[in-house]
Amino acid sequence: QVQLVESGGGLVQPGGSLRLSCAASVNIDGMSAMGWYRQAPGKQRESVASITRGGRLNYIDSVKGRFTISRDNAKNTVYLQMNSLKPEDTAVYFCNAKQVLTYWGQGTEVTVSS
């Protein structure tokens, strides 16, 4: 059973930064891809960023140039560095890992507000 634990969410002012972490209970190098999704109130969950086993990166257009996904295989952890945060980035952020099955963390809340 793969467990994913997110951390790093919180309240930040517009223009601020946060770094989210996703710690996995297994070797993430064995995952075909890992990523971050978010779900804002009243909206569907959407993919924000992903990184494949080969290191290919993908971002949703609205976060390109502001968010950076990375991973540390030695720590089995994936990060999402979020800069220049906007109120529309407010959401619960979920870590996702894909292998044969897809696994989800419990989510961490990010609120961008003055």
Residue 101 has pLDDT above 90, yes or no: yes
Task: Name the more confident of 30 and 81.
Answer: 81
Instruction: Check: CB of residue 85 under 8 Å from CB of residue 112.
Output: yes
Residue 53 to residue 31: CA distance in whole angstroms: 6
Mean residue pLDDT of the chain comes to 96
Residue 19 has pLDDT above 90, yes or no: yes
At 1 the pLDDT is 84
Residue 113 to residue 16: CA distance in whole angstroms: 10
Residue 57 to residue 68: CA distance in whole angstroms: 9
* Tens of pLDDT, residues 28-80: 988 999 999 999 999 999 999 999 999 999 999 999 999 999 999 999 999 99
